[in-house]
Amino acid sequence: MGRLNGKVAVITGATSGIGLRTAEIFVQEGAKIVIAGRRAPEGEALASKLGAHCSFRQTDVTDEAQMRALIDHAVEKFGGIDCLFNNAGGPAQTGGIEGLEVGRFDAAMATLVRSVMLGMKHAAPHMKRQGSGSIINNGSIAGRVAGYSSSVVYGAAKAAVIHLTKCVAMELGESGVRVNSISPGAIATGIFGKALGMSVEAAEQTPAAMREIFKTAQPIPRAGLPDDIAYAAVFLASDESSFVNGNDLVVDGGVTGGRNWSQQQQGYAALRQGFEARNG
């Protein structure tokens, strides 16, 4: 506890999943936070639960005026901004390249990429003036390796986030402001249900099932949890990471590291049996 004492943070997409758990843990670690989301009832309920160290502001993260107002609200209410976690996102259109709709493509890029740009744009002046700050952008392993999302649009957008992070890190690092991203693997949240077309309410009931489905997807024998990403964000927001800049921190239990050992050994066993049967 206390790793974020004295810090002021803004967390977008904080009404569910990773953002909600990050908000809870940031407050536990001593931060004052402003949380943002589109769903006012959920945001206000979370702010009420977390108490005086938390303020909610309903925000469309694709709208520049609203993102500017969000950052300004943190500065006015808590006296500054030390950390911005650009976490807001959502699923994108699934299917192959021939069926993509331009309007849905543009909407996904606005939610997943423009929002990150806007957050950095309006947090940067405050952080540069104080000579310090940490910006954290939520990437994805789907932005690093093809085939880890049901949507090619989502993968492309997250790749853009990861590279935009590195580009801005080279600029703002010269002013003492660090910019990094976190790329989650299979985290048990409602985003998978939303990607499959479920209602928000129904999708938010799926994490328990996701824990079972993903528990063998990577070498670590469990699904990823929102806590795993939240604590990675704590590290990047804290002074513990003061020399970490332009990095994409992969939190995926090893799924993108290569082929699971047991699968590899099973493959060798099958190959050996095939040779023996052929030469028998």
Q: Give catalytic residue positions.
A: 154
Element housing 208 (H / E): helix 207-213
d(CA 9, CA 74): 8
Could you tell me where the beta strands, DSSP code E, fall in the chain? 8-11, 32-37, 54-58, 83-86, 133-138, 177-184, 248-251
User: By three-state DSSP, how is residue 9 classified?
Assistant: strand
Residues 180-206 as b/e (b if ≥16 CB within 10 A, e otherwise) read bbbbbbbbbbbbbbbbeebeeeebbeb
d(CA 16, CA 191): 10
Label residue 63 exposed, middle or buried (CB < 10 Å: 0-12, 13-18, 19+). Answer: middle
81 phi and psi angles, rounded to 5 deg: -145, 120
Q: 106 Cβ partners below 8 Å, 6+ apart?
A: none
Residue 180: how many CA atoms within 13 Å on its side-chain side? 22
Q: 27 Cβ partners below 8 Å, 6+ apart?
A: 33, 50, 51, 53, 54
Q: 160 Cβ partners below 8 Å, 6+ apart?
A: 109, 112, 113, 143
Q: 122 Cβ partners below 8 Å, 6+ apart?
A: 67, 68, 70, 71, 72
